[in-house]
Amino acid sequence: MNFSILYVFFILVLMLAALIADKLRPGLIMFSAVVLMLCGNILEPKEALEGFANKGMITVALLYLVSEGVRKSGILERIIYALLPLKNCTVSKANFRFLPAISFLSAFLNNTPVVVIFAPMIKNWAQKMHLSPTKFLIPLSYATILGGMCTLIGTSTNLVVDGMIQDAGFNGLSMFELSKIGIFVLIAGLSYLILVAPRLLPNTRKSEQETEEGDQQPGMQRLEVMLSTRFPGLGKTLHKFDFYRHYGAHVRAIRRSGTTLRGDWMNMPLTKEDTLIVDADDTFLPTWGDSRVFWMINKVGDAEPPMGNRKKYFALILLALMILGATFGELPFVKNVFPNVKLDMFFFACITTVIMAWTGMFNTRKYTKFISWDVLITIACAFGISKGMINSGFADMVAGYIIALAEHARNSDNGIYIMLAAMYIITNLFTELITNNAAAALAFPLAVGLSNQLGCDPMPFFICICFAASASFSTPIGYQTNLIVQGVGGYKFVDFVRVGLPLNLIVFFISVFLIPLFYN
């Protein structure tokens, strides 16, 4: 083991520890790792910066704006209200009606805005129907994750892996490449969420309802406000951070990890997992409703979000054209007709974004706030970290150890399954502990090393990473949508373990079994 390998190993250990401890935002932590590799001559400046010019990363940024345009149109609200039953409803019947539709939408839109829009709507609807909202919100998050696994643009992780594949000199993924396995994963996952998950999910806790309903001030409306990573009061107490002076609302309670804080909660530091129950006047929603200071603002009680504007159908047409263009643009006869233009997702996402901007489908003076910059920095740095793992020889060394654990893999008929299972487990553990994009960054060079040493096609391992990095079901910390529904539904950590672990196993077995059948 030479100095370069030891140096990279040391950097990765520090990076993982910092990500798990949540000392800084993931983008800054991973950028620090890239800088350390640059200082150790593991990366050249060009290699360290390549990720910031990668088409996959920029496509993610554009899709944030496309998702915002569709969100502002109001078409999503109309779809979900048409699907939600209004009488004679059971939990399974409701899930059967709206979870497939949500999965379909999340296959083409960013998962986070889908959950931000639907979580308060479904919670309000469930309360009106005298059903427990906790039976629906975790399935909502999981359904968006399952849908996102089915297409190239369904999640930023797929675009990150696609960018790395192309940087490594291989052909990238087509729009529906992942659907070969994803559709089976989706059917099995939705069946589990509809038939089994409601029995494992808790009922709404009475203490939370009492906190939301009691002692509302006259002339004020009660709101649920989930803090985002951009909230300036993180780490401060409400005694030190004057919430009313900043936002004109009175904080009535703090909810954390499914529990309303008791005792001297005004002196407890705020965290990014907190949901505040506030009393505010009529100016709060117009002022802060679209702010990225908060992930979600939901009126507690009998309220519905606005339906959008007249451009909703145009937004839907643009989205459909973007998807169809990227799909057919990769076909051989289209490439022959347009040999000098690469008609891929990046191309059509650029056109869609520009049209939406010039037709006023999102606020063009505040468009930067609709983009999650930390996610983009994380993605850009992921390319540099993966390159450093390959340059140092660390990826090949770890791949060798994995192969040594299953020496018969080279000649056994089951060898590919053993390797895929090992790759899946490693990637999925990273995803549950840190973030999906960081997990993909660490796993990709291992996939390259494994395929090189086994002398086989690397594509099965690349596909495996896409599914394993997205399958974050067992903890609320691995995926942003899980954190959002945790705050809205008041779930405890153990609720995600109880419901998510079986789903993790379902996705694991289906993926590992099917990938070799389609990629041999």
Question: Residue 208: is its pLDDT beyond 60?
Answer: no
Q: What is the pLDDT of residues 362-406, one digit of tens each?
A: 878 778 877 878 778 888 888 888 888 888 888 888 777 776 765
Residues with Cβ within 8 Å of 299's Cβ and at least 6 positions away in sequence, in order, are 120, 124, 221, 222, 223, 224, 285
Q: pLDDT band at 310, cuts 50/70/90?
A: low
Instruction: Look at residues 111, 122, 121 and name the one whose alpha carbon lies nearest to residue 151.
Output: 111
Report the side by side order of strands in the sheet with 249-256. Answer: 259-260, 249-256, 274-280, 221-227, 294-299
In angstroms, what is the C-alpha Rg of the chain? 23
Q: What is the pLDDT of residue 411?
A: 57
User: Where is pLDDT greater, at 339 or 296?
Assistant: 339
Question: What integer is the mean pLDDT of 101-122?
Answer: 84
pLDDT digits (tens, 9 = 90+) for 162-191: 888 988 888 888 889 999 999 999 999 999
Structural domains present in the chain: 207-299 (3.30.70.1450)
Q: What pLDDT does residue 335 have?
A: 76
Instruction: In whole angstroms, give the CA distance from residue 318 to residue 350.
Output: 12
- Give the whole-angstrom CA distance, residue 449 versus residue 442: 12
Q: Is the pLDDT of residue 308 over 70?
A: no
Rounded mean pLDDT of 32-40? Answer: 92
pTM beyond 0.85:
no
Can you point out the beta strands (E) in 29-152?
Answer: none
pLDDT in tens, 122-168: 888 888 888 888 999 999 999 999 999 999 888 888 988 988 898 88
pLDDT confidence of residue 507: 96
pLDDT for the residue 505? 96
Q: How far apart are the first and last CA of the chain?
A: 33
With b for 16 or more beta-carbon neighbours within 10 A and e for fewer, the 17-55 pattern comes to ebbeeeeebbbebbbbbbebbbebebbeeebbebbeebb
What are 294's strand-pairing partners? 227
* Structure tokens given for 185: 């994963």
pLDDT average, residue stretch 292-318? 63
Best-predicted range by mean pLDDT (22-31, 189-198, 247-256): 189-198
What pLDDT is stored for residue 513 in this prediction?
94
**pLDDT digits 0-9 by tens, 488-513:** 787 887 888 899 999 999 999 999 99
Q: Are 300 and 212 in contact (CB under 8 A)?
A: yes
Of the two residues 209 and 380, the one the predictor is more confident about is 380
| Distance of alpha carbon 26 from alpha carbon 198, whole angstroms | 33
Instruction: Give percent of the chain with pLDDT exceeding 70.
Output: 89
Q: Check residue 304 and give its pLDDT.
A: 41
Q: 235 or 415, which is more confident? A: 235
Confidence check: pLDDT of 246 > 90: no
How large a percentage of the chain has pLDDT more than 90?
20
Mean pLDDT for the chain?
82
pLDDT at 307 over 60: no
